Structure 1
Amino acid sequence: MNNVERVTAAIAERREELFALLAELIAHPTVSPPARNSGGAQSLIARKLRELGFDVDRWTVFPGDDNVVGRLRGTAPERANSLIVNGHIDVAEVGDDSGWTYPPFALTRGRDGRLYGRGVADMKGGLAASLFAIQMLREHGIELKGDLIFQSVIGEEAGEAGTLAAIERGYTADYAVVVDTSHLHMQGQGGVITGWITVESPVTLHDGMRARTIHAGGRVHGASAIEKMMKIIASLQELERHWAVMKTYPGFPPGSNTINPAVIEGGRHAAFIADRCALWITVHFYPNESHEAIIREIEDHVLAAAAADPWLRDHPPAFRWGGRSMIEERGEIFPSLELDLGHPALSRLKRAYEAEMQCPPVVDMSGTVTDAGWFAHAGIPAVIFGPGELSQAHAVDESIDPDELVRFAQIMARFLADWCNTEKE
């Protein structure tokens, strides 16, 4: 038995230590929204990283929500591959927990043998198992030649740019594994962006002026911003249908690229003609598309429709896209991730999976979005690979198969020992 085999055997034998670490993380109710509550959990992550020999960088992204990034410096970083292991510390809100069989913030083994608690699948399980895999490598004396960067970031559940903040701080690597919920599938993803489209009149007209703005001879060039927004919504529906006909991507059902008019706000009082209307849209796009290109496509289409309207031609809609927080800015971006199927890191991750599972992995597309797209957007090749079923994310009685957690830790241990000890191409 070689050293890596000893590590994977130790992970199985000492699995209760992994579950104990997960229990510590689950005990911290880092729900988002409301967020601003991750301090205790991040202190636990930072302490564990220091114990494992990492240099730890902790900084505030929002008051009460810090990012924690650890770097384990390799013995030959200029020659060997580096890796980012990324996960988010926040979990979905619970609200009224009367529907839960088990307490959401205490790790509980159910009668069915599964582990229950908010975040076990999405995604404190992936964070805990990755840390435990690294601990076992360290305890068994397996050194890494390349740098290993461990990121515990805030804000993913509320579209907050914790991972983007880590990238902007200068953290990069030859590959990134986002250990979010994928049921041990290796996945790419589409993207999501939200945007506000606003129609605004330069003047506010009394309701009594309506007849002069809509009937012959009134000679008042005014309009209801709400009614003009209806034309913009119709143009978005036309574009959405065009996308459904003209665009496809393997692994996605036809028509997955949607434009949802999610929220509309307009008007000031029944005694006035609406002088302002704002529409909040959510746009889903495919892995081979960028949010920048999608923005241009939507704006061009809407502005062309506006140019055909006599009033909108003179008062075109304004656009505001994305944002770094759904809480603070009512806007978010999740860039897409198109998998590089020929990347050597993905090949080695597949090899680690096959060695542990004795079968090839499933490589497909996530049905949701994660922070993984930020790495692709920054030019860092990445994959989503983590434990837990997507159906458990945000669910009442969120649960995970403990055997899957152990297998994930074993696969990650194999992959880390291989990739970070392989010479750069």
Structure 2
Amino acid sequence: MKELTELLSEVERRENELYQLLSDLISYPTVSPPARNTTEAQDYVSDYLRKIGFSIEQWELYPGDSIVAGTKLGRDEDNAGSLILNGHLDVAAIEENEQWDFDPFTCAVTEEKIYGRGTADMKGGMAGILFALKLLYEWGIEPLGTVYVQSAAGEEVGEAGTKSCCENGYHADLALVADTSNCMIQGQGGVITGWIILQSPETFHDASRRSMIHAGGGVHGASTIEKMMKIISGLQELEKHWAITKSSPGFPPGSNTINPAVIEGGRHPAFIADRCGLWVTVHYYPEENYNDIVHEIEEHLSHVVQADPWLREHPPAFQWGGNSMIEEKGEIFPSFSVDRHHTGVEMLAHAHELVNQTPVQFSMSPTVTDGGWLAEAGIPTILYGPGTLEQAHAVNESIDRIQLLQFTKTMVAFLYRWFLNSEKKG
């Protein structure tokens, strides 16, 4: 306990070093979109991890965007638990008309806050993890079980760099995602986007409209934009039904929503719209799976279609999910819950209370992170990181300076105990 107390004091003594590390990460303008700009920042993380005893695997997710997976083998890896520490280096885009008080890619440290794009989402969390690992290394504290550090790209636009880590065989007994959670231990609901597409086999001139809509016109055609209105109405009915019939602990009622986010239709004012696409964003609960949600939506809309003579003959096509909002206009973020009785979760809760002198709060994030992919791969997962959602993506994005310091100390306390006491799960 004395050694840990001294380590926590070391964090305070060297806090300026922590802020410099965060400043270094912020200095890389890894905005997404446009993305394809993280490799230089990932090289920095790779070098940092190598210096503290990690071996590195690095690969391209897309040209210009790479993933870093650092591995430190444990002293007793056959018997001790393994751990993944996960985060992403891409940050929210900056629009031309945004008025920042500070250069968004130069950290401005004040008495209360640290300003810069990515401080809250989530380079602050990455800096805290990296600095905690460095201190433990310098003090000669090595893990019993294998520790992995995953520095992903693409999270901001649904490009699942963390999913690619799972596909490359990285697995552990516990994963901690240091994304924005205001230092609460959180799970999350899931999100899937999809396109609902109506296509007419014929294209009619605008002059034909009278023959489509008036008695005796004789033209069995339709505007796909107008027919999409029926689809939207059907989605609203299902959304209301979900709000009445479904709930999940930690979520306000009606959090499972179907948002008609984007509509694209028609070709020219002189023609009847022969194609219409609706882009929807669906939020669902941790107890559910996105495949089941897709089935529910399609089944419900099949009844809407059967009630309309034209839609019966020209039913919608569906395109669900995707690996990139940029490349495919689609994304998936699986859901997950936190097992409060998992040994690692209890260790983290104890570390938080030790540092902050108050019990940690458990809750559900109203947004989504890459943690869902780790849980989807069968890894018990925790979302726990500094920063608030109000600051994530905001103009003059910032993180509370003391919270970042306390988070880093919590990581030191958690990793100290995990390194020395982790147990392998069957």
CA distance in 1, matches of 2:351, 2:208: 72
Tell me what 1:3 maps to.
3
Tell me what 1:132 maps to.
131
Tell me what 1:14 maps to.
14
Q: Which amino acid aligns with 2:34?
A: P
Structure 1 contact 3–140 (Cα < 8 Å) conserved: no
Tell me what 1:294 maps to.
293
CA distance in 1, matches of 2:28, 2:334: 29
Task: Note if 1:108 corresponds to 2:108.
Answer: yes
CA distance in 2, matches of 1:271, 1:396: 42
Tell me what 2:374 maps to.
375
Tell me what 1:39 maps to.
39
CA distance in 2, matches of 1:245, 1:423: 43
Task: Note if 1:74 corresponds to 2:74.
Answer: yes
User: 1:21: how far off?
Assistant: 0.7
Q: Which amino acid aligns with 1:48?
A: Y
Tell me what 1:390 maps to.
389
The superposition leaves residues 90-143 of structure 1 with CA deviations (integer Å, 9 ceiling, x where unpaired) of: 111122376211111111113x43111111111101001100100111111111
CA distance in 2, matches of 1:80, 1:321: 40
Structure 1 contact 3–142 (Cα < 8 Å) conserved: no
- Written as runs of structure 1 = structure 2, the 5 A alignment for 1:233-272 is 233-272=232-271
User: 1:418: how far off?
Assistant: 2.0
Secondary structure at the counterpart of residue 117 of structure 2:
coil
Structure 2 contact 112–402 (Cα < 8 Å) conserved: no
Give the TM-score normalised by structure 1.
Answer: 0.96
Tell me what 1:418 maps to.
417
The superposition leaves residues 195-250 of structure 1 with CA deviations (integer Å, 9 ceiling, x where unpaired) of: 10001111222233333333334443322211111111110010011111111122
> Structure 1 residues 199 and 363 mapped into 2: Cα distance closer, same or farther (>3 Å)?
same
Secondary structure at the counterpart of residue 391 of structure 1:
coil
Structure 1 contact 196–278 (Cα < 8 Å) conserved: yes
CA distance in 2, matches of 1:415, 1:43: 27
Percent of residue pairs bearing the same amino acid type: 55
CA distance in 2, matches of 1:70, 1:263: 39
Q: Which amino acid aligns with 1:14?
A: R
CA distance in 2, matches of 1:103, 1:67: 27
Task: Note if 1:200 corresponds to 2:184.
Answer: no
Secondary structure at the counterpart of residue 370 of structure 1:
coil
User: 1:274: how far off?
Assistant: 1.6
User: 1:374: how far off?
Assistant: 1.1
- Written as runs of structure 1 = structure 2, the 5 A alignment for 1:111-122 is 112-122=111-121
The superposition leaves residues 51-106 of structure 1 with CA deviations (integer Å, 9 ceiling, x where unpaired) of: 01101011000110000110011111111011110001011112237621111111
Tell me what 1:227 maps to.
226
The RMSD of aligned alpha carbons is 1.4
Any unmatched runs of 5+ in structure 1? none
Moved more, 220-229 or 253-262: 220-229
CA distance in 2, matches of 1:97, 1:173: 44
- Written as runs of structure 1 = structure 2, the 5 A alignment for 1:47-58 is 47-58=47-58
The superposition leaves residues 335-384 of structure 1 with CA deviations (integer Å, 9 ceiling, x where unpaired) of: 11122222221111111112222221011111211111111111111011
Structure 1 contact 97–104 (Cα < 8 Å) conserved: no
Task: Note if 1:214 corresponds to 2:224.
Answer: no
Q: Which amino acid aligns with 2:158?
A: G
Tell me what 1:352 maps to.
351
CA distance in 2, matches of 1:64, 1:87: 18
CA distance in 1, matches of 2:47, 2:243: 49
CA distance in 2, matches of 1:23, 1:241: 46
Count of residue pairs brought into register by the alignment = 424
CA distance in 1, matches of 2:388, 2:278: 34
CA distance in 2, matches of 1:304, 1:170: 42
User: 1:43: how far off?
Assistant: 0.9
